[in-house]
Amino acid sequence: MGLSVTTVLIYSLIGAVVLAYAPYVVTAIARVKMAKEMENSMEMFKKPRAYTESLPDYAKRANWAHQNGFEALIVYCASSLAAVATGVDSPLAIYAAIAFCVARALFSVFYIANIAPLRSMMFGVANLCNIVLFSLSVAAVQNL
């Protein structure tokens, strides 16, 4: 027995939220390492934004990936909830939901690793998934 489109979309929303936070783990680890080397280690935790530029490059990129994750999450929430609200029942919606989560996970990996062409490709794939979900939603409304 397979999962329904709605079930997959709801689970993918949970996954998308986790993926928005995941890159920050890398940033947090770098902050802790950096704090251990400081004379007053608590200073960094009192003013976390002030020390962001002091982080190693990979940790800065992880922080940027984390921030971008929320930007992507807003659009994905809208597209996936539109599909749920309009009763989309297409396997294409399942593929788009899974592809979005995979693309966003790889986006963060490529961002942190500083592989810009692949990062940009994953950004585009994730946005294409949103377009697919919105298109399926519009088609479902037209058929009502």
Rounded to an integer, what distance in angstroms lies between the CA atom of residue 53 and that of residue 3?
A: 44
Going by the DSSP 8-state scheme, the letter that residue 115 receives in this structure is -
- Residue-level pLDDT at 1: 53
pLDDT tens for the chain, residues 1 to 144: 589 999 999 999 999 999 999 999 999 999 888 888 877 767 766 777 777 888 999 999 999 999 999 999 999 999 999 999 999 999 999 999 999 999 999 999 999 999 999 999 999 999 999 999 999 999 999 986
Task: Give the number of other CB atoms < 10 A from CB of residue 108.
Answer: 24
- Residue-level pLDDT at 85: 97
List the one residue out of 89, 79, 76 whose CA is nearest residue 143. 89
- Residue-level pLDDT at 107: 98
Phi, psi of 48 (to 5 degrees): -60, -35
- Tokens 């995979």 belong to 102
CA distances from 56 to 21, 61, 62, 83, 134 (A): 19, 9, 10, 40, 38
Rounded to an integer, what distance in angstroms lies between the CA atom of residue 60 and that of residue 114?
A: 11
Q: Find out whether 136 and 130 touch, Cβ atoms under 8 Å.
A: no
